[in-house]
Structure 1
C-alpha cells in the first residue's frame, strides 16, 4: 500500500471528519490590518497574554495562590541552602540558588507527590563531572488514569524534559512531568549545568574540586559547534543543553545492574541508577513510524532546550519522538536540523515581552516592524516545514496569546496566557500516547475538545474543558502532517490558504 499523507491546518472546525477549511487567518470575516476592529482585537490579545497572572482563576485571582507561594518559596529556599551546604565542593552559582522563590514552580502543585503520583529527587554527573540535579516522576502504585479511570499498568514509556536557558530550572516544568506521570509515563526533569540546582563548573576525574581552563583548546561538540575549554561554562551554549539531554537519557535508562557511570563524581552524593527503573518500558520498538528507533523514549525541551532536543533526535537512537516547546528546529540558521523522528512543536505568538501587531515581523523572540500585519506562515517556517518536506510525521500548534514563558511556571512577573499550558499539556499527552504507546490514530490525536485537570489549591484539581480551536492563534497557522497506514487522507488546498 503506498504511503499516505495527511496534511492540514488545525484551525478548522471539521477535524472530526478530517476535512479542512480555511484557518482564522484566512477568513473573509477577519478585520483588515490597521482597521479599528483589528486594533481592538489585537489589544485584547495583548491583554490575554497576561492571563496566567490576572485572568479568571489566575495567580492574582485565586485566593489560594499567594499563601501557597509564600510557604513553598520559603521551604524551597531553605532546602536549596541545605543542599548547597552539604556539597561545598559542588557550587551552584545560579539564580535558582541565589534568588528566593526562583525555583518554586507552581506552589499549588506541592501536594502532587502525596496524592497523585510518585517522585524522587536525584543527582548525577554529566560527562564533564558537573553535578546535575533533577526529579524522576512516576505513576503511583496501583494508580488509575485521572481522566479515564483505567488502571495504569506498567512498564511505562520514558520522557526526558530539558529546561530552557536564561536560568530556566526543572521546577518550572513540574507541571508537565506530573501531568505525564499520572497518565502512565516515567519522566526525568533536570537542571542543565549552570542552572537551577546544578553545579556551575566541571570536575576532572579523580578530583573533588572543580577545575577548568578557559584557555584550553575547545572540546568537540556533541551535535553542534564546540564546547569551550571549560565545558559547560558559560551555561548559555546549545552544546551544554545537548550534552545534558543525552546524559539525562543515560541516567533515565540506568539500573542497578547497569548503573550510570557518574564521571568525576568523587566526593559527591550521586544516584547510581534511576530509582523507578523497574517501571520503565525497555522493550525494543520497531514500529513503522519510528524508523530506526529502538526505545520508547521521548525528549522534550523548551527554548534553547527545544533547539537541543531538535538536534539530539537526529543522532540518538534511543529517541522515538521529540517535543519542542518554542521552537522546533535550531536557534541558529547555521545549524541545520535533520528530521528523523515524529515531532511536535508548540510555538508562541510572543517572546519574553508582548508586542502589538505592528511589531510581529522577524520572530517572536526578536520582533521587527510588520506594517502589513503578521505573516501567517511565520511559526511553521521555524522548523515544521523541514519535517513536512522530509515526510516525517509532525504537528505544530500556536496557542492564542501565548508567550515564550507559556511553558514555565513563574510566579507573578512574566506574561503567559491563561490556557496555553492546558492546551500544551493535553496535546503533548495525546502525541506521546500515539508515538510511544501507539494508541489511536489521527482522530484521537486531533480531537477538538480539551479536557484538563488544573490544581486550584488545597490539594484540589479542578476539571477544565476547552474548545481547542478557540484557543489557537488567529495570526499564525497551526499545521500537521500525519501519515495514515490504512487509509488515504489528503488535503491539497494548503498553499491556497496563505499557510
Structure 2
C-alpha cells in the first residue's frame, strides 16, 4: 500500500467495518541457571509472590455476553486493531515507506545483476516477485525507519554507533541459500555474549518485519541471528532439487532452526557443516562460519519465533527431552537452546498435528476452519516436550479482527502454558488486549494495534502491543540467559513482575499466567494475573 491517501484507504476500512458487523467469531518451577535450563526436582524456597496493590478496572473482565457492557468493551477492544492502519496515513510515514520500498526493490535488482545465479538454474522459483516479500515492498517493508541509511535513532545512529551488523548467506541442509544477518553490540570488548535466533512467521513474514526485536535485543546486550527461511524473502524459493519451504514445507521452521543454530555455533576450527557439503552448488559467496564467533557464548543460546516460527521454537527446544527425539544438530552433542519466546503461540503436545499451525495462529474455531486446507503441516515434527523456560504470547483476534460473540473461557490460550507448568519448567503466557497475529510482524497495511503512535527524530515511537511484547521478550531472555554483571541480569525478575505497568494491557477475555521462581527464591505462580488483583 504505497502512498495511499485517506480517501483511497476508505474502502478497505469500510470493508473491515462491514465484516465486523456481518461475521460472528467464536474464538479462538523449578528454577534453573542460564547454562542449565532443564527442569529438575529441586524445589525452590516457597515464598509466594505478592505484588504491590494496583488499581485495575475489571468491569470488562467481569462482563458477560450478551450485555451492553460487553458490547461497549468489545467494540473498544476491536477498534485497537485498526490503530496501526490509521497511524500510517501520516505523511512522514508514507514518504519513508515509499522511499524504502524503492531502495529495497533496487537492492534486489542489483543482487540479481551482480549474481545472476539467484535467478538462473539450478535456482528454482526465484523471481522479482517470488519468494513473496523478496522485493521488500508494500507490507514487507516493515518499519521503514529501521533501515541503514535512514537518518534517525533506529537507522544510521543504530547501525553506526550501537550495532555491528554483517550480512551473511549460508546453505541450509537442502543446499538452498539462506539470506540473513548477524547482529551484535559494538561496545562489548572481548566479552562473550548470549545469543538469540529469530525465526520468522510464514508467507509474508520476511526478516525486516522482526528488526524491532533484533534492535531491542542488541541494545540489551545480545548477539542476534535473523534470516529468511527457505521459500521466503531474500532466501532461495526452493532447493536445487525443487524442495520448497514456507507453508508448503513447514519442516524449514524446525530443520531450518537447527541449521541456524549450527551456523551460529560455527567457527574456523568447526566450520558450518552444510557449507562443505553444498559448496559449489552456486557461485554465490557463502559463509563457512559465524563472523562473530569469537564473542558467542555457546552455552547461552535462545530462540524467538512468530507464528510458524513459534511452532519452530516449540519443536526445536523439545529435541533431547526424554519423550521427544535426539538432538539432530551437528556442532553440539546436546540441544544448546536454553530459553524460548513464542510469539503467537507456544506449542502444545495435545494440539492435533493437522491443526497445529492454525491453532498457533488463531484460537478462534471459526477462523481456523478455512485455513486448514491452505496450510501444510509437517507430519514428522518432533513431539513437543517442555524442556526449557518458555514465554508465550497469544493474540486475541488472529488475522481477522471481528468481535467475539460468546463468553470466552479465560484459560483458552493456556494449553502450552499448562503443559510447561505441569512439567515444572518455567513458563509465562500473555494475551494482549486488542492484539492481532500481525502485532508481532508489523508492516504497512497489516491490521495491528498501534506501533507508530508518533514519529520523532525520524523514528516510530510509542504504541500499544509492541512495547509490551518487547519488554517481556527482553526480560525473559535476561532472566534465563544473562549472568551476573551483565546488563539486565539484576532487574530481570522485577521487569517480569511489573504488573503495575503492563497488566492494564493484558486481555480482559483471556487469562495471562505465569509460573517460575525468581533468583532470590520467590515462587511466582499466578493463574490469572488480572483477576489476581480483584481483591487487592
- TM-score of the aligned structures, taking structure 1 as reference length: 0.75
In structure 2, which of residues 257, 260, 272 is the aligned counterpart of residue 245 of structure 1?
257
Which of 31, 51, 54 aligns to 2:63? It is: 31
Paired residues of 2:165 and 2:183 also in contact (CA < 8 A) = yes
- 1:97-149 CA distance string (max 9 Å, x none): 2573453221112213134322121100101100000111111236xxxxxxx
Structure 1 partner of 2:96:
68
The answer to which of 186-195 and 478-487 deviates more is 478-487
Q: 1:419 to 1:89 in 2, by over 3 A?
A: same
CA-based RMSD: 3.1
Relative distance call for 1:132 and 1:330 in structure 2 (3 A) is farther
Structure 2 CA distance, aligned partners of 1:279 and 1:78? 33
Contact 2:386 2:419 in 1 (8 A): yes
Taking a change above 3 Å as real, the CA distance of residues 99 and 482 of structure 1, as seen in their structure-2 partners, is: closer
Aligned to 2:408: 374
The 3 A distance-change label for structure 1 pair 449 and 496 is: closer
Question: Displacement, 1:153?
Answer: 7.3
* Distance in 2 of aligned mates of 1:186 and 1:442: 18
Cα distance in 1 for partners of 2:402, 2:279 equals 46
Match 1:350 to one of 390, 397, 417? 397
- Of the three residues 417, 436, 446, the one matched with 2:496 is 446
1:46 match: 78
Structure 2 match to 1:463: none
Query: Are 1:329 and 2:379 matched, yes or no?
Result: no
Q: By how many angstroms is 1:22 displaced?
A: 12
Name the count of aligned residue pairs: 410
Q: What is the TM-score when the length of structure 2 is the normalising length?
A: 0.70
Distance 1:68 1:395, change over 3 A: same
Cα displacement (A) at 1:51: 2.0
**Superposed displacement of residue 29, structure 1:** 7.5
- Is the contact made by 1:165 and 1:236 (CA closer than 8 Å) also made in structure 2? no
Task: Tell me the distance in 2 between the aligned counterparts of 1:483 and 1:170.
Answer: 33
Separation in structure 1 between the aligned mates of residue 424 and residue 317 of structure 2, nearest angstrom: 16
What pairs up with 1:212-251 in 2 under 5 angstroms?
Answer: 212=242, 230=243, 232-233=244-245, 235-251=247-263
Is the 1:311–1:330 Cα contact (8 Å) retained in structure 2? no
Q: Which residue of 2 aligns with 1:218?
A: none
For 2:526 and 2:444, the matched residues in 1 are separated by: 44
Corresponding residue number in structure 1 for 2:132: 95
User: Any conservation in 2 of the 1:3–1:483 contact (CA below 8 Å)?
Assistant: no
Stretch moving more, 64-73 or 303-312: 64-73
Aligned ranges 1:52-451 → 2 under 5 Å: 52-54=84-86, 58-61=87-90, 63-91=91-119, 92=126, 93-97=130-134, 100-110=137-147, 111=155, 112-141=158-187, 154-202=191-239, 210-212=240-242, 230=243, 232-233=244-245, 235-261=247-273, 262=275, 263-266=277-280, 267-282=283-298, 295-315=299-319, 316=327, 317-329=335-347, 332-334=351-353, 336-358=383-405, 371=406, 373-381=407-415, 383-417=416-450, 418-438=463-483, 439-440=489-490, 443-448=493-498
1:239 Cα deviation from its structure 2 partner: 1.2
Pairwise CA distance, 1:156: 1.0
Checking the alignment, whether the CA contact within 8 Å between 2:101 and 2:136 is kept in structure 1 is no
- The answer to whether the 8 Å contact 1:195/1:235 transfers is no
Q: Matches of 2:168 and 2:443 in 1, distance apart?
A: 23
Deviation by residue 1:340-378 (Cα, 9 ceiling, x = unmatched): 0000101110111101011xxxxxxxxxxxx3x222111
The Cα shift of 1:60 comes to 2.7
Structure 2 gaps of 5+ residues are 1-40, 120-125, 148-154, 320-326, 328-334, 354-380, 451-462, 484-488
Q: In structure 2, what is the Cα distance between the partners aligned to 1:398 and 1:480?
A: 12
Q: Secondary structure at the match of 1:181?
A: helix
Q: For residues 413 and 386 of structure 1, what CA distance do their matches in structure 2 show? A: 32
Larger helix percent: 2
- Summarize deviations over 1:424-444 as a string: whole Å, max 9, x none: 111111111110004247742
Instruction: Look up the SS of the partner of 1:107 in the other structure.
Output: coil
1:52: how far off?
A: 2.3
Q: Which runs of structure 2 are paired with 1:462-477 in the superposition (5 Å)?
A: 467-477=501-511
Q: CA deviation at 1:5?
A: 8.0
Q: Given the alignment, which residue of 44, 52, 57 partners 1:4?
A: 44
Deviation at 1:392, TM superposition (A): 0.3
Instruction: Give 5+ residue unaligned stretches, structure 1.
Output: 9-14, 143-151, 203-209, 213-229, 283-294, 359-370, 451-466
Give the Cα–Cα distance (whole angstroms) in 1 for the partners of residues 530 and 134 of structure 2.
52
- 1:69-106 deviations in Å (ceiling 9; x for gaps): 11111111110222233333334331112573453221
What is the deviation of 1:325?
0.4
Structure 1 distance, partners of 2:527, 2:118, is 57
For 2:207 and 2:215, how far apart are their aligned partners in 1?
12
Distance 1:268 1:432 in 2: 35
Describe the shift of the 1:343–1:491 C-alpha distance in structure 2 as closer, same or farther (beyond 3 A).
Answer: closer
